[in-house]
């Protein structure tokens, strides 16, 4: 597994990161998947305090404890559960972040979080306060670096250039190229993109004919999408491999987050990653796909 530097940090993260949201809730089953990831060289694990109401952090911390100093753990903050209420609310205040980070540390059973990410953001947020809070947590040694998980340009453009953020997690795939407009801003600010949604809800996998629906996907109507996927499959064979190759071909991207609910899924992704290393010509992808822009949150 190749590694890349995450923004201006000294983190050498694996090109594939394991997104832990879809892990099984049984710890033995989750541990098998995580061990497979470790065996292959994946050293970057992404979770959030929101996932399974904190239990995902607890499980991940327990499984990774024996190799804690060999891996990077990323988690997120901002979505607040309230006892007795359904769902969650948004809270990016300094007071809440300070309480939430300590709760995450306790659940993860670790002394520090490698990458602490704002889990969203709105234009009403006080980004100076958020940045100051993250910087204070770094000084305290509770977090090593920080970033943001957001697809909102009006949030990214306020937070990233005015902070020491090292990462921006964004949905990005060859079927959703909207983030590309912002890659130069992110790189110039000293941050890297961490992409998610790389296989576009399974449309960029061997299961695409079962996954495609009349709704199409993003800017692609059903017929247009079907034709595109057929052409890409004919040219490249393995759609998941070309999806990974496309994301990792961009220098702004440090790592792409992949989920797995079973060892079989993870092994299929790893196999696709191996194939992706042999894909050198992505000109057809560039030719056939649309570099659309975000229309909302500008």
Query: Do 200 and 217 meet the contact criterion of CB atoms below 8 Å apart?
Result: yes
Residue 298 confidence (pLDDT): 77
Q: What is the DSSP letter of 81?
A: E
Residue 84 confidence (pLDDT): 67
Where on the phi/psi map is residue 237: left (φ > 0), alpha (ψ -120 to 50), or beta? left
Closest by CA position to 53, among listed 24, 79, 72: 79
Of residues 44, 51, 217, 236, which has the active-site annotation? Answer: 51
Query: Do 239 and 202 meet the contact criterion of CB atoms below 8 Å apart?
Result: no
Query: Do 118 and 166 meet the contact criterion of CB atoms below 8 Å apart?
Result: no
Q: Give the pLDDT of the chain (298 residues) as one tens digit per residue.
A: 999 999 999 999 999 999 999 999 999 999 999 999 999 999 999 999 988 888 999 999 999 999 999 999 999 998 887 766 677 788 999 999 999 999 999 999 999 999 999 998 899 999 999 999 999 999 999 999 999 999 999 999 999 999 999 999 999 999 999 999 999 999 999 999 999 999 999 999 999 999 999 999 999 999 999 999 999 999 999 999 999 999 999 999 999 999 999 999 999 999 999 999 999 999 999 999 988 888 888 7
Residue 289 confidence (pLDDT): 96
- b/e map 191-221, b = 16+ CB within 10 Å: bbbbbbbbbbeebbbeebeebbeeebbeebe
Give the domain 3-7+10-201+240-283 fold.
TIM Barrel (3.20.20)
Residue 108 confidence (pLDDT): 98
**Residue 206 annotated in active site:** no
Domains in the chain: boundaries: 3-7+10-201+240-283
What distances in angstroms separate CA 94 from CA 80, 130, 167, 279, one per listed residue?
13, 6, 20, 45
Residue 90 confidence (pLDDT): 84
């Amino acid at each position: 597994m190749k590694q890349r530097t995450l923004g201006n940090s000294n983190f050498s993260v694996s090109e594939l990161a394991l997104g832990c949201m879809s892990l099984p809730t049984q710890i033995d089953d989750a541990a098998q998947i995580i061990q497979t990831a470790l065996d292959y060289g994946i050293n970057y694990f992404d979770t959030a305090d929101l996932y399974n109401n904190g239990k995902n952090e607890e499980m991940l911390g327990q499984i990774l404890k024996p190799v804690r100093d060999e891996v990077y753990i990323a988690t997120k903050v901002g979505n607040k559960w309230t006892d007795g209420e359904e769902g969650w609310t948004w809270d990016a205040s300094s007071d809440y972040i300070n309480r939430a980070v300590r709760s995450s540390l306790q659940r993860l059973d670790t002394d520090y979080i490698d990458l602490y990410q704002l889990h969203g953001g709105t234009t009403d947020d006080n980004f100076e306060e958020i940045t100051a809070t993250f910087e204070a947590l770094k000084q305290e040694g509770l977090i090593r670096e920080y970033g943001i998980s957001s697809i909102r340009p009006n949030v990214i453009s306020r937070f990233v250039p005015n902070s020491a953020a090292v990462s921006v997690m964004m949905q990005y795939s060859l079927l959703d190229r909207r983030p590309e407009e912002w890659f130069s801003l992110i790189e110039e600010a000293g941050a890297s993109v961490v992409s998610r949604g790389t296989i576009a809800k399974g449309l960029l996998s061997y299961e695409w004919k079962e996954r495609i629906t009349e709704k199409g996907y993003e800017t692609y109507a059903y017929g247009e999408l079907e034709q595109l996927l057929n052409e890409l499959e004919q040219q490249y064979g393995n759609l998941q491999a070309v999806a990974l190759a496309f994301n990792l071909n961009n220098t702004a991207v440090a790592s792409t987050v992949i989920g797995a609910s079973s060892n079989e899924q993870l092994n299929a992704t790893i196999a696709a990653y191996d194939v992706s290393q042999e894909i050198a010509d992505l000109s057809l992808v560039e030719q056939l796909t649309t570099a659309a822009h975000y229309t909302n949150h500008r």
